[in-house]
Amino acid sequence: MATVGVIGGGQLGRMLALAGIPLGLTFRFLDPAPDAPAGEVGELLVGPYDDPELLDRLADGASAVTFEFENVPVEAARRVGVLPGPVALEASQDRLVEKRLFRRLGIPTARFDDEVEGFPALLKTRRLGYDGKGQRLVETRPSPSDHVLEELVSFERELSLLAVRSRDAEMRFYPLVESVHRAGILHLSRTPVAAAPQALAQAYATRLLEELDYVGLLALELFETGGELLANEFAPRVHNTGHWTIEGAVTSQFENHLRAILGLPLGSTAPRSREAVMVNVIGHEPPRQAILRIPGAYLHLYGKGPRPGRKLGHVTLLDPTAERLHEIEQLVS
Amino acid sequence: MATVGVIGGGQLGRMLALAGIPLGLTFRFLDPAPDAPAGEVGELLVGPYDDPELLDRLADGASAVTFEFENVPVEAARRVGVLPGPVALEASQDRLVEKRLFRRLGIPTARFDDEVEGFPALLKTRRLGYDGKGQRLVETRPSPSDHVLEELVSFERELSLLAVRSRDAEMRFYPLVESVHRAGILHLSRTPVAAAPQALAQAYATRLLEELDYVGLLALELFETGGELLANEFAPRVHNTGHWTIEGAVTSQFENHLRAILGLPLGSTAPRSREAVMVNVIGHEPPRQAILRIPGAYLHLYGKGPRPGRKLGHVTLLDPTAERLHEIEQLVS
């Protein structure tokens, strides 16, 4: 029985285990929170992410070690030999390094730093930003700081490409997803996308995966504007915009990530339904009865207590009607 | 967070938890084996099924208590107030009681006991038979014993109907499944069935569900012979012939069982693919790489060590081709 070590024990770790247990895998997590959501589906080591002794226990006898959030200390990741590799993690942790990497690979991004011409512009922390945190609008160019100044892009759509690359360099891509954010937090993702720039998005993701010699699942977030795609950021892990794949694709992002890091053959990324929409459950417990009554709705709760702005779960709706989708949005918000 | 108690911690318990954890449920199991497969996905109480103290701990604070095999001592079931109720459990534990129940409800069965006219006939233990165990062919009528004598039926097909009934008496039925046994153990199940006697099977199951005031999932096993359906037995639990529903139906048998016993709305039992076949993995570990390479194949391992005749897992193949199915049968046998 192969064991997978996971740095982080949040909902992404939990869903990795739910996908991997049927493959005969067992899971071990490292998380500072004793009530981390993944604790129900594997062994939970409780402590800081950079505790050498706990990291060694996490990796002990594991067939692979991975992570489920990108703010893992790179030294910790190196110590246990994570997949995807520390180089991908490092690039994703610093917005400036990330943007320079995109540029070097010929992947367009919004104008940043000295290139910014108009104000207001976005000032983002280089590190530890997520879910809209760590960024604010500014009216003038700030003095040099540990921030990135970024042009405001008026995009038509926010798209996300989930890509997976195996140990032997095979790549597969899920159909593009359109995302809608509210208050900086992902509210909804849907696929397929009308007139999807699938080929261009895949070409960009391919450069990134190959440059990083990436193994596992990666999410590339893109702005579509005037027929062009601008890379916003990438996440070197399974991603909220890929939760629809659990029921909506032949192989889920979670299973494909595990297949990749374990050297197993990748599974098909083809959709299993005409259309899929995922709506996040944020802040408060949703009414289970009402959701389960909606045809085509699949409820996922993460075992977390309610708190404003907290992702507590998601609902995937297959082959949605406008009415059913509206009902779900009412129920979870 | 609702907790479900389960008597038994085998693969059925494990798959119940894998279906229920996404609904925000947590699980507690009672099993004599410290390495029971369900131990990875919930709290495992180790001890005999009829230990009063452990039973009380199993039920403590649980929203519902159920069981995952039918040889649970009825007294134990009564103590913790299981769903489905003890009356269903009791009827399923004694082949003679079960046959008389079928007859009383106008559900045909094979001729048994005094009705048997031809030999060889089957002599079955009244209790604790499963997977072809506890039965043998006899050439003459035995003296009265704790056995049931049963006519040999030369059936055309062995069918199985999965039915689920909610707390408020709503019923849903999955499409009929055809099963193939080898050496008395289920080898393969497939659905849909050509010219399926769906309506008749549902009529029989309805009588049974209503008579038992049943709550949860039930499997009714039937022989089809000369255009007639003969009830063979029923299992008051999730069933091996329903494993295809995990990927092959809108709502799996596991999720629907949980929805039923928790008083949640039942989910759709409609199929999600043109055809689904499930093949059991028996006796030895299957080659994971080779199986995962087959398009449409879903691997499920139960975390059990290999042993001749032991069910270690199953593979579900959606929209099978003859070639892919043949390949899977070669790989797992």
Residue-wise pLDDT tens digits, A10-34: 999 999 999 999 999 999 999 999 9
Q: What is the model's pLDDT at position A132?
A: 61
Q: Name the DSSP letter for residue A249.
A: B
Q: Residue A23 and residue B250: Cβ atoms within 8 Å?
A: no
Is ipTM strictly over 0.90?
A: yes
In this prediction, residue A145 has a pLDDT band, given cuts at 50, 70 and 90, of: confident
Q: What is the model's pLDDT at position B129?
A: 63
Query: Which residues of chain A lie closer than 8 angstroms to B265, CB-CB?
Result: 289, 292-293
The hierarchical CATH code for the domain A3-82 is 3.40.50.20
Contact status of A137 with chain B (Cβ, < 8 Å): no
Query: Which residues of chain B lie closer than 8 angstroms to A264, CB-CB?
Result: 288-289, 292
Distance from CA of B229 to the nearest CA of A (A): 32
What is the rounded average pLDDT of the residues A230-258?
A: 98
In this prediction, residue A135 has a pLDDT band, given cuts at 50, 70 and 90, of: confident
Contact status of B305 with chain A (Cβ, < 8 Å): no
SS3 call for A132: coil
A157-332, what's its fold?
D-amino Acid Aminotransferase; Chain A, domain 1 (3.30.470)
User: Rounded CA gap, B141 and B54, in Å?
Assistant: 44
Contact status of A259 with chain B (Cβ, < 8 Å): yes
Residue linked to tokens 């991004």: A109
Distance from CA of B248 to the nearest CA of A (A): 11
A and B: number of Cβ contacts within 8 A = 71
**Which residues are registered as beta bridge partners of A233?**
A221
Alpha helices, H only, chain A: 11-20, 52-59, 74-80, 86-93, 95-104, 198-211, 245-248, 253-261, 288-292, 322-332
Q: Residue B264 and residue A18: Cβ atoms within 8 Å?
A: no
What is the rounded average pLDDT of the residues A208-232?
A: 97
Which residue positions in chain B have pLDDT lower than 70?
A: 1, 129-133
Q: What is the model's pLDDT at position B333?
A: 79
The domain limits of chain B are 3-82, 111-150, 157-332
pLDDT, tens digit (0-9, with 9 covering 90-100), for A255-287:
999 999 999 999 999 999 999 999 999 999 999
Q: Name the DSSP letter for residue B10.
A: S
User: Rounded CA gap, A229 and A191, in Å?
Assistant: 17
Burial class (CB in 10 A: 0-12, 13-18, 19+), A113: middle
Query: Which residues of chain B lie closer than 8 angstroms to A314, CB-CB?
Result: none
Q: What is the model's pLDDT at position B145?
A: 75
User: Rounded CA gap, B330 and B43, in Å?
Assistant: 36
Q: What is the model's pLDDT at position B132?
A: 61
Say yes or no: do domains A3-82 and A157-332 share a fold.
no
Q: Is the peptide bond before A192 cis (omega within 30 degrees of 0)?
A: yes
pLDDT at A325 exceeding the cut of 80: yes
Query: Taking CA A54 as the corner, what is the angle to CA A51 and CA A56, rounded to the nearest 5 degrees?
Result: 105
